[in-house]
Amino acid sequence: MDCKVTSFVYFEHKSGGYVLPHEHDLFELVYYIDGEGEVSIDGEKHLYRGDTVSIIRPRFRHDEINHSYTKVYAILFLLSSKTNIDNLVLQLEAESAKRIKRIIEDIGDEFKAKRQNYMKVIPLLVGQALYEVFRALDKEKPVHEKYYRENVSHAKEYIRENSTQNIDFEMLAKSFGYSYGRFRHIFKAVTGDTLNNYLLEQRMTKSKNMLSSSDMPVKDIAASAGFSSLSYFEKFFKKRMNLTPVEYRRIFLLEIPIGIYQINEKEPRL
């Protein structure tokens, strides 16, 4: 695998930490050593805990909420344009976690020690880590889930493109040849989320982008993102972020070191 590694970083985030939305020009591999929280990648929310690994493609916007004290390794790397890797967040089984963590720790040691030819060794180790992640992913996904994945991918794309509109999920299911009841179970099995929650996350992402980059009134943002009312938007936003939309907007007026804001929450939110 043609790979160039640019950085290896160890982070510790306090409970209630919020890593502001950002993106990279490179791939990012994140290994969550321990802690609990959620990471949102391009409008898709994923829960993490200890021994969770994520891979984020270049120029995909993502942010993270830490529900408890969290320790992570993060690696930025470049792959050849021919390499096709999708975004993923995967909770690892014990044996896979042990192997992948050991490889990542070896990468950190190589960066720290800078032994002879370490810049040639590190890409090989990253390639090995990726191989182990993909092997764990194939083991994790049952056969029927792989079969349905293409239809679910098309459904997700349709929802993303039409998230500001009222989507008829029954008609969407029929377009793939399923009843609504059957397709919603398929969607949940593949993504871990419901159709409606996925739609709400897309609207949430749009609203966060507008709050952080414009001075548009909050009520107009709610409508533009597809929320049925300002009151529902504010309630949903507060529940998801533990911040009101106005409070969230204020974050981006502050000068925050490395893009991490501390949300004052006492207990993890489920």
Is there a domain that residue 265 lies in?
A: no
User: End of a domain among 109, 140, 171?
Assistant: 140
The confidence score (pLDDT) of residue 237 equals 97
Low-confidence ranges of the chain (pLDDT < 50): 266-270
The confidence score (pLDDT) of residue 31 equals 98
**Cα–Cα distances in angstroms (integers) from residue 59 to residues 3, 26, 42, 187, in the given order:** 18, 7, 10, 26
What is the rounded distance in angstroms from the CA atom of residue 64 to the CA atom of residue 166?
Answer: 28
Q: DSSP letters along 143-160, please?
A: HHHHHHHHHHHHHHHHHH
The confidence score (pLDDT) of residue 178 equals 94
151 and 37 assigned to the same domain: no
The confidence score (pLDDT) of residue 141 equals 66
The confidence score (pLDDT) of residue 172 equals 96
According to DSSP, the residues that pair with 74 across neighbouring strands are 9, 30
The confidence score (pLDDT) of residue 144 equals 58
The confidence score (pLDDT) of residue 190 equals 87
Is there a domain that residue 10 lies in?
A: yes
pTM of the predicted model, to two decimals?
Answer: 0.89
Q: How many domains does the chain have?
A: 2
Residue 244 phi, psi dihedral angles, 5° rounding = -80, 160
Q: What is the CATH number of the domain that holds 128?
A: 2.60.120.280
Question: Which of 111, 89, 64 minimizes the C-alpha distance to 258?
Answer: 64
Is there a domain that residue 270 lies in?
A: no
What is the rounded distance in angstroms from the CA atom of residue 222 to the CA atom of residue 231?
Answer: 9
Q: What is the CATH number of the domain that holds 167?
A: 1.10.10.60
The confidence score (pLDDT) of residue 142 equals 63
User: End of a domain among 140, 163, 180?
Assistant: 140
Domain that holds residue 112: 3-140
The confidence score (pLDDT) of residue 145 equals 65
Note the pLDDT tens digit of each residue in 26-45: 999 999 999 999 999 988 99
Tokens of 228: 């049925």
84 and 151 assigned to the same domain: no
Tell me the three-class secondary structure of 68-135, residue by residue. Answer: CCEEEEEEEEEECCCCCCCCEEEECCHHHHHHHHHHHHHHHHHHHHCCCCHHHHHHHHHHHHHHHHHH
The confidence score (pLDDT) of residue 256 equals 81
The confidence score (pLDDT) of residue 268 equals 45
The confidence score (pLDDT) of residue 40 equals 95
The confidence score (pLDDT) of residue 269 equals 46
